[in-house]
Amino acid sequence: MRPYYIFSSGRIMRRENTIYVENEKGEKKALPIEEVESLHIFGEVEMNTKFLNFLSQHGKPIHFYNYYGFYSGSFVPRSKNISGELLVKQVEYYLDNEKRLYLAKAFVEGATFHMLRNLRNYDGTEEFVRIISEEQAKSFEAKTVPELMGCEGRAREAYYQAFNTITSGRLAMNKREKRPPKDPINALISFGNSVMYSVVLSEIYKTELNPTISYLHEPRERRFSLSLDISEIFKPLIVDPIIFKLINNSMLKEEDFEDELDFCYLTSSGKKKFLKEFEEKLETTIKHRKLKRSVSYRTLIRLECYKLIRHLLQDEFYKPLKAWW
């Protein structure tokens, strides 16, 4: 099984046990349901409740992105992996300040570790490494989640300032701007983070975790905030190296970006180039030190979910992933 990314506009429907994607020209592509891990919709696609019920029966999530490629929302089937005991534990660990802070610190530790890992691969980043290391040390001593978020925010600000050094100014970025991104690097970061968020959500869905209960980010209406927590570890590990590769190897060109009213975003060709590298990264395998077998980056995300479950059930303390390869 693998995810499918739908860029063409048209219709998507079910016929027996097959998904059919029909574009505006009437051309159809068949996707056997057994081969589909999830669907990512970037075009304007019509569908009906019969199709959504079909996805729900087979446990297939579908993620939607707007015209600019930013995450809009998901249809997540009713979970078959339900655990009342785990749900109670998730809430308990959120309500207990000490328990919540421990997990929040672990997510920040994993994120800053991978930021530093990236920077140490490039010359001229020593000052940024120093700032991030100082904020990482402060995060260990934080007494509240807002204080911890402040440390993480300052570390990430220094990290993004290093992007111009890493890319030798090929696509300059003044500062991190999310809403809206105003330059190609900001557009790449926003797009990559959106896709990362939905992939993490798909992996959470395969476990008994409730994706709405989180520890670093505040749980809020209309968002799966646990996916934001876990994504913090994997954005610098997966998304950012792809950005560096695409820019430094001149794999992206001016026509892969569109500027519109002080708003920069990836064209369809740019999105496809990023997603090709993204999928290759997710399927790349490494030898797991504990499992003694090769696992993919995608599997590492789900293993992170299982580690969190074991912590909540008090089987073992949660330690964030820190790439050793």
The string of pLDDT tens digits covering residues 44-81 is 999 999 999 999 999 999 999 998 888 999 998 877 77
Q: Enter the tokens of residue 184.
A: 């190609």
Q: Which residues contact 309 (CB under 8 A, 6 or more apart)?
A: 86, 207, 208, 209
- According to the annotation, is 217 in a ligand binding site? yes
Mean pLDDT of 9-28: 91
Choice among 170-184, 225-239, 285-299 with the minimum mean pLDDT: 170-184
Q: What is the pLDDT of residue 45?
A: 93
Q: What is the pLDDT of residue 6?
A: 94
Which of 68-72, 152-156, 251-255: highest mean pLDDT? 152-156
Q: What percent of the chain has pLDDT over 90?
A: 81
Q: Which residues contact 159 (CB under 8 A, 6 or more apart)?
A: 115, 118, 119, 128, 132, 236
pLDDT bucket at 222, cuts 50 / 70 / 90: low
Residue 169 has pLDDT above 80, yes or no: no
Q: What is the pLDDT of residue 173?
A: 79
pLDDT digits (tens, 9 = 90+) for 127-141: 999 999 999 999 999
- According to the annotation, is 135 in a ligand binding site? no
Q: Enter the tokens of residue 269.
A: 């060709």
Question: How many other CB atoms are found less than 10 A from the CB of residue 216?
Answer: 23
Domain borders along the chain are 2-60, 84-312
Q: What is the pLDDT of residue 221?
A: 67
Measured CA to CA in angstroms, residue 135 lies from 38, 127, 131, 175, 269 at distances of 37, 13, 6, 19, 38
d(CA 97, CA 93): 8
pLDDT bucket at 308, cuts 50 / 70 / 90: very high
Q: Which residues contact 292 (CB under 8 A, 6 or more apart)?
A: none
Q: Which fold has domain 2-60?
A: Ribosomal Protein L15; Chain: K; domain 2 (3.100.10)
Q: Are 312 and 89 in contact (CB under 8 A)?
A: yes
Q: Which residues contact 103 (CB under 8 A, 6 or more apart)?
A: 93, 215, 216, 229, 308, 311, 318
3-state secondary structure of 296: strand
3-state secondary structure of 30: strand
Q: What is the pLDDT of residue 266?
A: 93
Residue 171 has pLDDT above 80, yes or no: no
Q: What is the pLDDT of residue 78?
A: 77
Q: Which fold has domain 84-312?
A: Four Helix Bundle (Hemerythrin (Met), subunit A) (1.20.120)
Q: What is the pLDDT of residue 202?
A: 94
Residue 259 has pLDDT above 90, yes or no: no
DSSP string, 212-257: T--SSSPP-TTS-HHHHHHHHHHIIIIIHHHHHHHHHTT-S-GGGE
Q: Are 214 and 105 in contact (CB under 8 A)?
A: no
pLDDT digits (tens, 9 = 90+) for 195-218: 999 999 999 999 999 999 999 999
* DSSP conformational letter for 189: H
Question: How many other CB atoms are found less than 10 A from the CB of residue 104?
Answer: 23
